[in-house]
Structures are given as structure tokens and as C-alpha cells.
Structure 1
């Protein structure tokens, strides 16, 4: 991943409650001056500039000697530094949010506005430590915007007219964004369309415009999140771009993938809106903490190729693969069949040798490098975990004893359906320094300490009644079924059994009966498919 080096300038601090640098110093300072290595944090502020902007974009250091404990105190701080930021904290800034984080720092988020209309992208943030000392001020603001307009701002163009101009500018109509009725989660025709419109002050070059910022989000006839700026006075198109981005990334095993990303304010996010769902597929990082959901995984140039990003890339990519698998094979719209957001968090804790579904999102550890490498690096692992979410929303199999072992087996089986190269689970990420092994095997569960027949069933109270051990028995039955009828037929039988017949307390006998009922529904009770299911379960000792 390309890294940008910030160019900063050390400035002396004045004595007093507020310690700004002077406007005169600002005017005389060249843009590209690196702070001296000898400059100490408590002796000077570090300042980052963008060429052509009159206001610094980042000031960091001890910027005050007294505490600022509320928004009024922060506004007063801004007033006392007006010669720097050239903004009126009452007239030019609107407070959006105040947030105190886990270490006690407080963050005040403002947006610049002109006559109450926000300046697009003009964020202004003031940060204090736990004692209220101002430690940083950052954001992009344009004080010249306030004097650019004469008289009261009033749109001469209606919102509807602005929307019509936006659609015209991308050579599309709303009707062309219709999604076929069969793809709707409730069976009705859906547009798969989101229209958003708000008035903004838009900066283009050195000029400012009163504009409508239009968002047009749709899936068909192509994935799009158009951002269109329409002049609020004459209807001209000032600017437009499609924020749906297709980037590249390197996965855990070093392979390059094409990934769907999202572009906003100069940053690319692992945030996929291209699927026909009401939510999104998003990937975040816990940064080796246990805080969920964590921060968004981002990149500056849309090439997620840093070693630290490999787990992020695979979690994002394979979540899309799993979504596509369920949608394309069963018309299932996300794990809840209602377009729920699929959220993944990687880099969970340190040396964490596990991945799990916590009831609302996916979580992946990086492994310790010996037992596992990053667990998001295997499609069967991602498919396994997200299938837990499908099971939770359908059969609801209780996670203990035989129903829990079935829960695990269903996830293993669908993981194999998605990764058809073999019958192994987790082989791509398990024991990275040892080739040829895996976490589990459907074809021979005994290789990894699991029984493959009821004669070897393990009675235990550990691991919720042996859910990860006894799952070998239904796993073997799944393998025998696939061998007889093939992957495509087997997955249809298993999906119907999961979503129609299995229930929270189903045991292995119930699973046999459910799968036979599904096979009878799809192929008839006298079919070879029905006989294959019956034979598979008889061979593992379930009658």
C-alpha cells in the first residue's frame, strides 16, 4: 500500500491559555518544510498544509494550557484562533457530534456552512485529551466561501428538477433500474434504487457553487453509486462520478484479487454496494484489539496490497463469494434472506486461532502463525461461518449435543459446496508451515480425530456436548451423498432440508428424515437421489 508522508512545520508556542501560531507566521511559511527532529512535542506544534489552501489541514501538539470541557469552551477556543482558521464558530461552523473515546479523549466534529448550507467535504475537528487540553485540530475548510455569495441563498431549481437533470446526465431512467420481481425478498417488484438529494456549497477549482448533491444508488443495469452535483440556480451539471469502485488486493496466500470498494473523500473503503441487497458487504479491522466492529479497512490508491491488509482483502472477497453462492443457487438474499449487511472484522485480538459468527457479524483472528495463519484466507472457513448465520435464521439448530453437531456439520458441508476442490475444511489456513493437512475432512473424519459412524459417537459434556467432534458423523453422510448424486444435487437437498424441515432440537435421526423429505420433494421418494441419501445415513449408523 502506498504511504503518503505528511509534510509538517514546527511552530513556536506562545504563553497563555491558547497557544496559536500567528497569522503572520502562517503567511510567510513555505508549504514544504519538514519539522526538525530536535523539535519536541511540548515545545512546538506540528502543522500540515495543502498547497493552495489558506488554512492548515492538521495541527498537532499541546495547543492550549487550560482544559476545554464542553462545546462552548471549544467554540471559544476557535474564536481565540480566528486569525488561523478565519471562521466564526457561531456563524460558519455547525457542530455535528461529540464523542469521548476509551482513553478519555473527546472529539468535536463540525461542518463548515454558509447561511446554514453545508460546504461539501468541509469537515473541521477539534480534539482534546482527558483533561480537556486541545491536542489537535484538523480538517479542510474554506473561509473564502462565506464571502463568495452576495445576498440570501435560495435555490432557483426545485429538488425534482435537479433529480431529473441528474438522471439525464448519466443517460438512464428510473425504470431501467427495476429488479426482476423474482429477486425481491418478498416477491414484489423492487427498484433496488436509492435517491438522495441535499443542498450544498460545492467547491470546483477556485469557485463555489450553490448546488444539489444527488446520490443515485442502484444495482441494475450496472452497479452504481452516482454522485452528481447540479447547479441549484441553472440546473447545469457541475460534476459527477460513480463512487462504486473496483480495486485490487492481495490475499492471505499471496494471490491477487479484484474487489469491490467504495470511494469517498479521497479514500477507498472495503465496502461493497454492488450486490442486490438492501445492506452492504463491509470489512473492518479490530487492529489486534477485541473491540467490535472496529474501524473500516481503507486504502489511498485502491490497491490493498500491504501485508497487513491481506486478511482484510480475503474476508471482503470471500464474503462476496458466499453471498453470490446463496443468491445464485437458492435466490437467498444475504444470510437472513432480507438483504442484511454482511460485516466482517479481521485482526481480532492477537495470535487468535479462531473465526466465529457472533450473531451479528463475522470475526477472524490472525492465527499464531503455527496452528493457523489469518483465518479469513480460506473460502470454506468464511463459508462455514456465514452458514452459521443462515442456520440461525432458518433451522435455528441449538448449539449443543447432536443438534449442535448438526449445526457444525451443515456449515462444513456448505463450506465444501463453495470450495469444490476437495473435501477438506480449512486446509488453506491450517498449520501453514505443514503442507497437506486440514482442520477436518468430510471424506475421512477419522484423520482428524472425529468419528465417522455412530459406533464411535463421543459422549461428553465438553465442547457443548462434542459439537466439533461428533459432527464427523453427519459430515461423512454428506460426503457419501455427494459421491452418489454430485455437488449440485446434494446442495439442493441440503438447502431444502435446512430451510424447510430441520428445527432447533433436531438430532441425527431428524437430519436423516429431513434430508429424505427434501429429496422426495425434489426428486421423488423412489428416485436414485432419495436412495442415495438413505444409503449414506445408513452407512454411518443412523437409521
Structure 2
């Protein structure tokens, strides 16, 4: 599709969904989208107008719906026999709408082939952003789209492949609790110039190592086509073996939660909610479990696996016989998890990391070669390695730095929203978004991890830690584990610096907005409204931030226009310029 082409659309979604929302919609063909919108319009006609409404008539909406049907129906098919699938739709409080479509062939989604459509508030114009990834028609026409293998067979084959790679059977110990189940879905995956019908297969496990992998298994031959390690591009840890169980009747306190105290690594006394457990004939035990909110915050000791039914996560909770806790690593992990939860809840109304009130689990005291001096989000929980100390070439602590914890937990928010793939530019954006939100939460400076004694990145000065600050310095690396999945921790310096410059330009412009706060709002809107596809490039991110500028509530049109110009200038300064007609540079 030619960039900048404008398509007409109706305001039917604005009428039906006047409050900000972000819906996960079923995958639907473009012509099905039109039919759905038409049905929604008929339903809207039966809804009486609200007092003080704009007074748009049903007849006017019908005319807009006709234009909308013509526009969506006129979307050129990406391929002969192809269509678009609706991945996501979002509508803001002021009526701006965005749609993420994925190209498909014979109903099967094509990996990495996305098209975004945006409708500004108050407009009836639908503006394409980006282009679907093109595959040669000859590749597709020769493709057998009927799989020879089932999803279960693909999962089994990928498990066998990873077992050979990692040196042991893939799975989870009985003590490891609710590790997400494997899943596989059909996609068309182009690799080495050949289109494959493949199962995109996701495996999360604790044996023989802690793992979060995605692999593409040929749906006819069962061969592994490609794969990604999604745990920060690093090797994982060995899971502890089960030992012992808790006996005796127990009861967990359900009344008002007690308050505990403890010092973190920096020596500051902190207070936090805890839970108590009483076993028959034994003293009360206090645990680092905060159940005062819909999403519980639990901190567990990785050194102490448990088979007890009262420990569904598979490990003992950090515990004390008094309401004071001396485990500094656990106190820091517990308090910082709460702080990140409250940041997203209070600032953006987000209900935990998945926006569905998932519990936040933190496992501390992981003492393995690959996890020492590290903190990682595994796809379902936080894991903190033991710190070896700055004097030994490591870090002084791993859970003590709010920005480090915020960075890792923001990977979870990204996972549950835009789902950026962890390799190449999309992987660098994944890292950058975590750095950006970490810098918004920990606003003392623009560095990441300085409280551990071993800072690793600076948004203000990427070169300080060996990162590029502009596209002229981009480091082109092979996309494999040995090279950081294509340099995701290296090239993140470029969007990081664009973000820093955005905040700086906002502050210097003096037009009623605060730079760091506005940067956080822009980034969250980008995530919430899914303005990026999973395989987004730096250019896509620049365009998405400009669209996000038009979505911020409480701003005048003049402020939105000024903000979009500043965002554009910041990205231009790092060598990423205009690719669409979203804004005039």
C-alpha cells in the first residue's frame, strides 16, 4: 500500500465505545470487519442519545458507515488469495482510533506483515501507517497450507530440539507451580527466502534451565526453522530440586493485613504489608505476601523448594517469626515490586502487569553462574540472582535498584501489550521501552542500575556505556544468542536517546508540560493502544510516538501539535526522520 494514502471511515466505534479502552479482538478478515461495523451501527441506532451528546443523527452515522464500508472494502488484498486479520483495535476518550491488521494468506497470518491504521479525533479519515511485509507471490502460491503435523506434535518436536541444545528434558519440576503451558499456532514464516507453513511454538520451563523460548517448527517436516531465547538474551538458570513438605494444619490470615518492617541494601527502614500463617502447635510465621490489593505481591526463597499444597508457587515464602525482616534482598524485591505495581495503577489505571490483576511473584537468592548479578522477567515471574559485589566485578545487589526492577517488570507490560519480538530492532525497542519507563519511575537521573553499584546504560549519554546514540553509529550484528539477539542491549541506545531528547525538548519548550512525565504518558499510550506491531522497527516507533502525541488527554490541539513536532525533532536528531505524512518536518 502506498504510504500516506487516506481512507474514509465512520465514527461508529467512537459512538459505541466513548470511554478509553483497548480490546483484544478475534482475528477477522477485512471484509468481516466491515460486516461487524455495520452490525454495530444497527445496534447503536437502538441506543438513545445521552443528555448533552453531540446530537449526531443515525442517518449521519449510516452515511459514515457506508463510507467506512467502502474504505475497508477497498483495502487492496496483500496477496492473491490473501486478506487482513484484525489483531487489535483501540479507541480513545476523544474519539481517536487505531487498528492493527496482519496480512494473511488463505486465512493463515503472515509473520511480521502488519499494517496500522489511525483515525485522528474528530476526523473521518483513516490514515495507513507502515506497510505489510512483502513476500513474493511465487513463494505463497507454491505453499501447501494444510499442515502435516498437529500443534501437539510441533510442541513435542521443539521440546526434543531444545532438550538436545540445553542438555536435558524440557519441563517443570512438580514444585515449580503454575509455569505457563506450551502453545503453538500456525503462521507463514519466511526464512532464507523460502516461505514455510510453520507452528510458532512457545515454551516456558524450569528444567533443565529457566527458559522462555519461541521457535518456528515446519508444519510439514517438523524441522526447526528459527528460534529466540526471550530471557534477555542470556543463558538461564538450573531449577532447584524438590525437597520436603510442610506438615500440620495451617491457616493463612484473612483479616486486616499486618504491617512488617525491614531494611533493604541501602539501609533505609521500610514498611510493607505482610501476611501471617499459624500452624498447630507452632508460633505464628509472618511472610512477605501482600494481599491488600486484587493482585497479590509475593516474595519467595529460591533456596527452599516446597511440595506443600499451601505453597502453590513451589517455594517457601520469605518468612520471619517476627514482623521484622532481615533479608535485605527480599525486602528490596518486595518493596520495589509494590512500587512498580502502584506506579502503573495510580498513573495509568493498569491492573497489575497484565491488566487483569495477575499476582506478582519475586524469587530471590538464585545462586547460579548465569544468574549471579542479574535480575530477569521470565515471562511469568521476577527472578533475582545473588550479587557478588562490585569488588568482584559484579553488582552490590540485584533487587535494590528501583529502575532495574521497573525495567524488568516493564518487559511484562510490553509482553501483555505490543509483544515486541526480542531480536533486532524490535528487541532493542523492547529494551528501550523498559529503560524509558524505568527512568520515569526513578526520576533522579537518566541512568539505569546505578544503585546496584554497576550502572549499565544512560539515556542522556549512551556512549558512556558503549552504546550508539544515533543511526550513524548503529551496530549491525548477527541475530543469534552469541550476538545479543542482534544487539538488543546495544542498539537500544538509539531510541533511548530519542526518548531523552523528547523529554529535554518538552522541558525547554515551556508550553505547560513536564518532559519526563509526558514521556511516560506517551510511552504508555503507545503500549496500551498497541501502536507498534511485534516486529516494529525504529522508524515504526518514531511514527507511533507521533500518533501517541495526538492521544494524550487534557491537552489542547495546539499543545498536541507542538508535542508531535518536538517528538519528530527528537527522533530526527538521532537519524530517524519522516517516512509518512503524519507530520511535516
Aligned residue number for residue 405 of structure 2: 382
Contact 2:240 2:303 (C-alpha < 8 Å) held by counterparts: no
Q: CA offset at residue 110 of structure 1?
A: 5.5
Q: CA offset at residue 520 of structure 1?
A: 1.7
Distance 1:109 1:417, change over 3 A: same
Aligned residue number for residue 284 of structure 1: 300
Aligned residue number for residue 316 of structure 1: 334
Pick 1 or 2: higher relative contact order, CA cutoff 8 A, min separation 6.
2
Aligned residue number for residue 573 of structure 2: 539
Q: CA offset at residue 287 of structure 1?
A: 2.5
Contact 1:403 1:508 (C-alpha < 8 Å) held by counterparts: yes
Does structure 1 residue 325 correspond to structure 2 residue 343? yes
Does structure 1 residue 297 correspond to structure 2 residue 318? yes
CA distance in 2, matches of 1:104, 1:296: 15
CA distance in 2, matches of 1:108, 1:360: 25
- The two structures have a TM-score, normalised by structure 1, of 0.54
Does structure 1 residue 509 correspond to structure 2 residue 539? yes
Does structure 1 residue 483 correspond to structure 2 residue 500? no
Distance 1:264 1:288, change over 3 A: closer
CA distance in 2, matches of 1:512, 1:294: 43
Aligned residue number for residue 336 of structure 1: 354
Does structure 1 residue 464 correspond to structure 2 residue 485? yes
After superposition, the C-alpha distances for 1:239-275 in whole angstroms (9 at most, x for unaligned) are: xxx3x01111100111111111112210111000122
After superposition, the C-alpha distances for 1:381-438 in whole angstroms (9 at most, x for unaligned) are: 110000000000000000000000000000000000100000000000033xxxxxx2
CA distance in 2, matches of 1:331, 1:107: 39
Q: What secondary structure, in the 3-state scheme, does the structure 1 residue paired with 2:567 have?
A: helix
Aligned residue number for residue 453 of structure 2: 430
Aligned residue number for residue 252 of structure 1: 265
Contact 2:421 2:427 (C-alpha < 8 Å) held by counterparts: yes
CA distance in 1, matches of 2:245, 2:430: 44
Aligned residue number for residue 375 of structure 2: 355
CA distance in 1, matches of 2:246, 2:343: 43
Q: What secondary structure, in the 3-state scheme, does the structure 2 residue paired with 1:488 have?
A: helix
Aligned residue number for residue 495 of structure 1: 524
Does structure 1 residue 397 correspond to structure 2 residue 420? yes
After superposition, the C-alpha distances for 1:485-519 in whole angstroms (9 at most, x for unaligned) are: 21221111111112210120111000001100010
Distance 1:298 1:456, change over 3 A: same
Distance 1:476 1:288, change over 3 A: farther
Task: Choose the corresponding residue for 2:549, options 514, 519, 533.
Answer: 519
Q: CA offset at residue 320 of structure 1?
A: 0.4
CA distance in 2, matches of 1:412, 1:271: 27
After superposition, the C-alpha distances for 1:440-474 in whole angstroms (9 at most, x for unaligned) are: 10000000000000000001121000000000000
Q: CA offset at residue 350 of structure 1?
A: 4.2
Aligned counterparts, 1:155-234, within 5 A: 225-226=254-255
Q: What secondary structure, in the 3-state scheme, does the structure 2 residue paired with 1:284 have?
A: strand
Aligned residue number for residue 435 of structure 2: 412
Does structure 1 residue 450 correspond to structure 2 residue 467? yes
After superposition, the C-alpha distances for 1:74-93 in whole angstroms (9 at most, x for unaligned) are: xxxxxxxxxxxxxxxxxxxx
Q: CA offset at residue 293 of structure 1?
A: 5.7
Aligned residue number for residue 73 of structure 1: none
Aligned residue number for residue 118 of structure 2: none
CA distance in 1, matches of 2:469, 2:382: 29
Aligned residue number for residue 63 of structure 1: none
Contact 1:288 1:350 (C-alpha < 8 Å) held by counterparts: no
Contact 1:364 1:374 (C-alpha < 8 Å) held by counterparts: no
Q: CA offset at residue 103 of structure 1?
A: 7.4
CA distance in 1, matches of 2:356, 2:517: 24
CA distance in 2, matches of 1:342, 1:381: 16
Distance 1:361 1:535, change over 3 A: same
After superposition, the C-alpha distances for 1:101-145 in whole angstroms (9 at most, x for unaligned) are: 98787658455xxxxxxxx76xxxxxxxxxxxxxxxxxxxxxxxx
Q: What secondary structure, in the 3-state scheme, does the structure 1 residue paired with 2:451 have?
A: coil
Q: What secondary structure, in the 3-state scheme, does the structure 2 residue paired with 1:381 have?
A: helix
Distance 1:527 1:253, change over 3 A: same
Distance 1:319 1:395, change over 3 A: same
Aligned residue number for residue 273 of structure 1: 291
Q: What secondary structure, in the 3-state scheme, does the structure 2 residue paired with 1:340 have?
A: coil
Distance 1:480 1:247, change over 3 A: same
CA distance in 2, matches of 1:345, 1:264: 20
CA RMSD across the alignment: 2.5
Distance 1:107 1:499, change over 3 A: closer
CA distance in 2, matches of 1:509, 1:391: 18
Q: What secondary structure, in the 3-state scheme, does the structure 2 residue paired with 1:428 have?
A: helix
CA distance in 2, matches of 1:331, 1:320: 15
Contact 1:252 1:314 (C-alpha < 8 Å) held by counterparts: yes
Q: Which has the larger radius of gyration?
A: 1
Distance 1:293 1:369, change over 3 A: farther
Contact 2:446 2:460 (C-alpha < 8 Å) held by counterparts: yes
Contact 2:300 2:316 (C-alpha < 8 Å) held by counterparts: yes
Q: CA offset at residue 532 of structure 1?
A: 1.3
